[in-house]
Amino acid sequence: MNQTEIRDIVDEYLEESAQLVPILQDIHRKYGYLPEETLHHVAERLHIPLSRVYSVATFYGAFSLKPRGRHLISLCMGTACHLQGAPRLLHALKDKFKLEDGETSPDERFTLKVVNCLGTCALAPVVVVDGTYFDGMNPDKLLKALRRFE
């Protein structure tokens, strides 16, 4: 019996079962978060313990287990944005909408996600709302820009 041959055979299947992260990513994209019952489903279908699905779902910052509001605000807290006043934007959102990182406002209007560098540092500080970029923001401009997202 050749050990490496057997290992190669097993490895083929290991690679298949490694798709947990991409699977969760696709579910997340579809629903905006990971609903609890989907985690059960995934565990069952992949024949892995729920605890393993849960550990992956909570380890990675890209996943949220809570439903998302009507609009997603991505606030960049990368270094360039930090230096140019992003923390003040965060304060403004906290004051005005009671938003914290990863949380949804009580009226379910906004969900806030603090991200690290959107790769558009020339536009710092940057906020992206539902895919639209707002550059060179200050608290006042940001709150005005958010008016059109009901």
Partner 1 sequence: MSSSVSLNPQAELKRIRDTVKRSRGGVREIRVCCGTGCQARGSMELYEVLRKEAESFKGARIRVKKTGCQGLCEKGAVVTDSAAGYFYCLAKKENARTILERVKEDDEKVSSLLYIDHTTGKPVIYTEDIPFYKKQHRLVLRQSGSTDPEDILDYIAAGGYRSLAKVLGGMSPEKVIEEITSSGLRGRGGGGFPTGRKWRSCRDASGQKKYVICNADEGDPGAFMDRSILEGNPHSILEGMIIGAYAIGAHQGYVYVRDEYPLAVHRLKIAMAQAGEFGLLGYDILNTGFTFNVRTNRGGGAFVCGESTALMASLQGQIGEPRAKYIHTVERGLWDCPTVLNNVETWANVPIIIEMGAEQYAKIGSEGSKGTKIFSVVGKVNNTGLVEVPMGMTIREIVFDICGGVRNDKQFKGVQTGGPSGGCIPARLADLPVDFDSLTEAGSMMGSGGMIVLDEHTCMVDVARYFMSFLRKESCGKCTLCREGTEVMHETLKSICEGRGSKQDIDLLEELGQAMQTGALCALGTSAPNSVLSTLRYFQDEYLEHIRNKRCPAGVCRELVTYSIDPDICKGCGKCKELCPQQAIEGEKKTPHRIRLELCMKCGACLDVCPFGAVGRRSYCDKS
- Taking every pair of Cα atoms in the chain, the longest distance, rounded to a whole number of angstroms, is 72
The listed partner (partner 1, ligand FES, none) that binds 9, CB under 5 to 8 Å by sort, is none
Residue 22 site contact among partner 1, ligand FES, none (CB < 5 to 8 Å, cut-off depends on kind): partner 1
User: What is the smallest separation between the CB atom of 108 and partner 1, expressed in angstroms?
Assistant: 23
CB of 80 to partner 1, least distance (A): 4
Q: Which of 53, 114, 124, 146 binds ligand FES (CB under 6 A)?
A: 124
Q: How many residues bind ligand FES (CB under 6 A)?
A: 12
Residues 92-111 that bind partner 1 (CB under 8 A): 92, 95-96
Backbone angles phi, psi at 117, to 5 degrees: 60, 115
The span from the CA of 135 to the CA of 149, in Å, is: 17
Is residue 80 close enough to count as binding ligand FES by CB under 6 A? yes
Residue 112 parent element (H or E): strand 110-115
Alpha helices, DSSP H only, in the chain? 3-17, 20-31, 36-46, 50-59, 79-83, 86-97, 139-146
List residues near ligand FES by CB under 6 A. 76, 78-81, 117-121, 124, 126
